[in-house]
Homo-oligomer: A and B are copies of this chain.
């Protein structure tokens, strides 16, 4: 008398977590300095100094009940105003505070949105390969169907030929994740405009809006001054899911938001459905102290210099050795084609040299491995010779 599906989800670790736990065990055997763990996307850069300074300030300024009490379910008006102002100044978003629903991180935001868009067991949500594997868990958790759109290996943008075959009257939304985990690719303005035109046509054809769910935890993590297009200004029916996990290096604190722009079709209804969905998932409010912290730190930017250094070192180093790498413009992942043609095989062989890279299989790109370079630069420097041995 327990759910077999939930049991399976809880007892099988993701490929990423599995490898990470293996690394911890192996470190006890061969020494931590001899394990090169590129498995997890756990920020290695500290939170901006202002974060902890703000916590100290708040402890003095507010009473315990003000600081640790319930906020309204949608989040404090101060935080929603701060986020709205920030987006308006950077992207001409024209947003209002009431279009934001503060969530316990991006995962909670995504689950709430999928729950809001799911109208029957036929409802489908599409993700473009390569994609974050937990999308499948979250979409199926909402009772909708998860469909994946085949990889376009040419440039890692959208595969419209595959999308055309996949989309149908049950499609409620497509997930766009830019900068992308695991490829580090930023979807171009041209790609997004093409997607926008395509979805507008299909929305008309099927007689209902097909939403873009824009999952943007890496929005602030880009290099070489690359511009990340603001999706709602290209496609009106966009629902944004955001997290401060990466941009403020606060992954454990669980704070992010859902943004339902006013120009979205049925925006007020969608917003209420997101709130209702969050309520039925047990989200009472996002952590209250952190809501106040983020209110003051909403415009803080992460120090990207270490990630950028790692990125160059790894991309240039591996490319010179003969590896075929996807050029990353954002996030902190490098996607590398397996010289063996199979990501699982390469991941296993690398593991023998204590190099932990995740097979692309669960990301929808099985010929690749993902290298998370949010690590100490020395780890990369010391791992490079082993990568050279591996390609031989």
Contact = CB atoms under 8 A, between A and B. Distances in A.
Given A65-B44, A107-B282, A117 B3 contact: yes
B280 A138 contact: yes
Interface stretch (A82-90, A245-253, A322-330): A245-253
Contacts of A31: none
Given A51-B64, A65-B46, A71 B252 contact: yes
Interface stretch (A4-12, A179-187, A356-364): A4-12
Contact of A281 (B45, B254, B281): B281
A151 interface: no
A287 B254 contact: yes
A7 B141 CA distance: 18
Interface string A252-294: 1110000000000010011111111111111111111111000
Nearest to A117: B2
A138 B278 CA distance: 10
Contacts of A56: 56, 59
Given A7-B273, A65-B46, A253 B287 contact: yes
A277 to B, nearest CB: 4
A368 to B, nearest CB: 24
Contacts of A108: 282-283
Interface in A25-61: 40, 42-47, 51-52, 55-56, 59
Given A46-B65, A252-B291, 7 more contacts: A1-B117, A1-B172, A1-B211, A5-B276, A46-B64, A137-B280, A254-B284
Which 3 residue pairs spanning A and B have beta carbons closest together?
A: A252-B288, A10-B276, A9-B276
